[in-house]
Structure 1
Amino acid sequence: MSPPPAASASPIAAAAPVESFRTARGGPDSGGLVVEEDRAELRYEDGMYVAHQRRRVLNTGIEPVTRYLMRISVDRFPGDQERSARLYRSNPLRWEELQLSAHCGDEQMSWQVKTGWDALKEVWLLFENNQGRFPLYPGESALIEYSYRVGEEKWGPWFQRAVRVPTSFLSVVLDFPAEVDPVVWGMETSMTADAFSFRTAIARADAADRRVFTWSTSKPPPHARYRLEWNFRAGATSRNPAGRTVPRPSEQMAATGIVQVGDPMLHQPARSFGLPAEAEDARRVVAELSSTMERVSALHTFGKGIGIAAPQIGINRAAAIVRSADGDILTLLNPRVIESAPESDEQYEGCLTFFDVRGIVPRSLELHVEHTDISGRRHITVYRQGLARLVAHEIDHLHGHLYTDRMRPGTAPIPVEQYRGTGSAWTYHP
């Protein structure tokens, strides 16, 4: 049973094409649900993404379960919220195009609308249809299956799975045409907002004209988010015929979602998070930052490390991530420098927001930084040398400053073609 189209409202800031699943009796969430198997498949063909979900659930509670909350959230342009918002205002996600269908075993499930925003749809999947009701009683398990479709003009290049209830097994299959030459990677975001690459590899299998990627995990922790992303490399610059103009570094960064110099957001102080109340928002922003870092890292070698602040991906919040030259990942929420050493040095820096040049910048060799974790606790961490420089650069972004604001009077950045330090670490003397 399909509901009538819902009235459109303002879009939310979705992290990705996201789907999450929760359960309730008739109102409040039930605490007795266990997901024994969660298997998601996403197939792309002829400009259409078709998602199919199979989930076996067990009611370990003391009351019957009569409905499940299913959520679909999309973001076509990750890292550019304004562009996504404009898209969904003019062309919102519509119920009729989703072609949502759901079954519990052999029974078709009816459904009711909970939320019908431009980029977010939520429905209650009901354990009933026009033939009767079939609640999930305590001790019983059931196989829930449902599917929907979204055109590529509204679906972003990623698929996220969110763990809302205890889950024993989770898997995702991405099925693409081989001709688009897909490449897939994955990021995990934990309850603490830390983001890192998948702990296990994504398997790839080629069959006929399809390329299939499979990833799974057992006993994922509560509140974890697993996001698979992809890029269709067919037609990419690296595969263009010889003689075609190669994009400038700044153009390559813009293509990954990095806001470029001239955007007013780069000169506005970022808004702090109220933690732990805004923990979900913080996790979402960190996940977007980590995803962007993966895309950027595929284009350039960062021998000195790399950092990205939320304003650089179009989000005016006080969050940044830094990857050191050794590969360690730092997550900074509401950071501020409370003390800096008088000793300093000058080194060349680059910035993803104007990556065609490099500039020599004086920085303190040691910073004491106060920052907040996802639970709201404050910490003070000391950073030194290259890590201090990376952290200072990102904190500057959160205060609306670029490294050019720190350069000595009379100096100017040099074209990247004249810079000789690409791919190498900064040098420090003992």
Structure 2
Amino acid sequence: MGGSTQDDAAAEFVRELAHWRRQRGLSKKELAERTGFDPSYVSHIENGRHQPTEEFARRVELVLDSGNRIWQQYVTFADARGSGGRRSALGPTAVPPPAGSHLVIEDEQAMLSLVDGVYECRFRRVLHSVGTEPITRHTVQIDIDRFPEDPARSALFHSHHPLTIDEVAFRATIGTEQAEPMRWRVSRSRDAFLKIVLLLDGGGTPMPLYPGQRTVVDYAYRVPAWKFGDWLQRDIRLPTRNLVIRLDFPVETGPTVWGSETSFTSESTVEVHPDRREGQGRVAYRWVVSRPRLRAQYRVDWRYADPRAALVDAPTDIRPLAC
């Protein structure tokens, strides 16, 4: 095939890539951040100075989720370049998985409720293995920084009231219809921080997540409100398709709630206002984020009109906050 055919196919790939990048609201720099390529490389691809590689095509398809349209254009380009043998092996609509173990969170539901002075935190994640190797564990964490705006005060407070694994009553299950308890272990512990490794098994039987498979992981814990802090944050460390954050408070606490999205790629923070509903003595908030940005922070803060309603059994060094 002639060079013009190859050039035309490369141009079609670039048009498809640029279209879906704009559809997902990503800059070239942000796409590079998510795919692990240098920003100049993405720019060179879109400007036609470099030709796309198979690895680049499959990573951008994974991030932009174009319904395989980007990948189809890459296969056409590869065929025009003289790599038709790959086409018969992969198929025009089959996106080859990234090498190694790669995980996508298709849906995360984060829920926090205040009940009798204790925050009950529950999380549900739909995990999808998209790599070439099975996944045997998944890491989660608990972060309860009481005074995030005052590091010295926070460090002093948590040194006197450290978080312990026993008090949080951590539990986790795997599966949907017949969820099984999961084994787990603490991999890192600080005064206000716990990192926990969930082992993908059920009832002691290994349940690795093989390439192409999905599973549901639920985990939960509880922390006294006086120790937790008035915020909940989700750091997007894995590609995530959908994020939902829910808060639920007694109406007598008179909560004011706001959310913020911080993107370290663009170095900007955007404030949002979650949906609010009230009924049966409770007030609930809901924030839905479609395709949250990788490495961005999604944080919800709240303040109570009457903080004393949340400070049940608080020690003396916390009680002045209620005045």
Name the counterpart of 1:207.
279
User: Alignment identity in percent?
Assistant: 37
Name the counterpart of 2:296.
224
> Is the Cα–Cα contact under 8 Å of residues 187 and 195 in structure 1 kept in the other structure?
no
Name the counterpart of 2:231.
158
> Is the Cα–Cα contact under 8 Å of residues 123 and 220 in structure 2 kept in the other structure?
yes
Q: 1:123 aligns with which of 196, 203, 206?
A: 196
Name the counterpart of 2:220.
147
Q: Distance in 2 between matches of 1:129 and 1:90?
A: 37
2:242 matched to 1:169?
A: yes
Q: Distance in 1 between matches of 2:283 and 2:139?
A: 32
Q: Distance in 1 between matches of 2:147 and 2:100?
A: 35
Query: For the structure 1 residues 87 and 193, does the alpha-carbon distance in structure 2 shift closer, same or farther, using more than 3 Å as the test?
Result: farther
Name the counterpart of 2:131.
61
Q: Distance in 2 between matches of 1:30 and 1:204?
A: 42
Q: Distance in 2 between matches of 1:30 and 1:161?
A: 25
Q: Distance in 2 between matches of 1:58 and 1:182?
A: 36
Q: Distance in 1 between matches of 2:215 and 2:263?
A: 28
Amino acid at match of 2:140: M
1:335-354: CA deviation from partner (whole Å, max 9, x where unpaired): xxxxxxxxxxxxxxxxxxxx
1:356-392: CA deviation from partner (whole Å, max 9, x where unpaired): xxxxxxxxxxxxxxxxxxxxxxxxxxxxxxxxxxxxx
Q: 1:101 aligns with which of 161, 168, 171?
A: 171
Q: CA deviation at 1:235?
A: 7.0
Amino acid at match of 2:224: G
Instruction: Spell out the pairing of 1:342-381 with structure 2 (5 A cutoff).
Output: none
Name the counterpart of 1:90.
160
Q: Distance in 2 between matches of 1:141 and 1:35?
A: 10
Q: CA deviation at 1:132?
A: 1.3
Name the counterpart of 2:256.
183
2:183 matched to 1:113?
A: no
Q: CA deviation at 1:30?
A: 6.0
Q: CA deviation at 1:218?
A: 0.5
1:170-207: CA deviation from partner (whole Å, max 9, x where unpaired): 010000000011010011110236342345x4100001
1:255-302: CA deviation from partner (whole Å, max 9, x where unpaired): 8xxxxxxxxxxxxxxxxxxxxxxxxxxxxxxxxxxxxxxxxxxxxxxx
* TM-score normalised according to structure 1 size: 0.46
Q: CA deviation at 1:85?
A: 0.8
Q: Distance in 1 between matches of 2:193 and 2:290?
A: 28
Q: Distance in 1 between matches of 2:191 and 2:265?
A: 29
Name the counterpart of 1:33.
103
Q: CA deviation at 1:219?
A: 0.7
1:9-37: CA deviation from partner (whole Å, max 9, x where unpaired): xxxxxxxxxxxxxxxxxxxx965211111
> Is the Cα–Cα contact under 8 Å of residues 191 and 222 in structure 1 kept in the other structure?
no
Q: Distance in 2 between matches of 1:114 and 1:214?
A: 31
How many residues end up aligned between the 2 structures? 208
Q: CA deviation at 1:71?
A: 1.0
* Backbone CA RMSD of aligned residues: 1.9
Q: Distance in 2 between matches of 1:82 and 1:217?
A: 33
> Is the Cα–Cα contact under 8 Å of residues 162 and 191 in structure 2 kept in the other structure?
yes
Amino acid at match of 2:285: F
Partner SS state of residue 52, structure 1:
strand
1:193-243: CA deviation from partner (whole Å, max 9, x where unpaired): 6342345x410000110000000111111111011000001379xxxxxxx
Q: Distance in 2 between matches of 1:86 and 1:235?
A: 21
Partner SS state of residue 153, structure 1:
helix
Amino acid at match of 1:156: G
> Is the Cα–Cα contact under 8 Å of residues 59 and 140 in structure 1 kept in the other structure?
yes
Q: CA deviation at 1:99?
A: 0.4
Amino acid at match of 2:138: Y
Partner SS state of residue 167, structure 2:
helix
Structure 1 residue runs of 4 or more that deviate by more than 3 Å after TM superposition: none
* TM-score normalised according to structure 2 size: 0.61
Q: Distance in 2 between matches of 1:178 and 1:209?
A: 5
> Is the Cα–Cα contact under 8 Å of residues 168 and 219 in structure 1 kept in the other structure?
yes
Q: Distance in 2 between matches of 1:171 and 1:198?
A: 16
> Is the Cα–Cα contact under 8 Å of residues 49 and 149 in structure 1 kept in the other structure?
yes
Q: CA deviation at 1:131?
A: 3.3
Name the counterpart of 2:19.
none
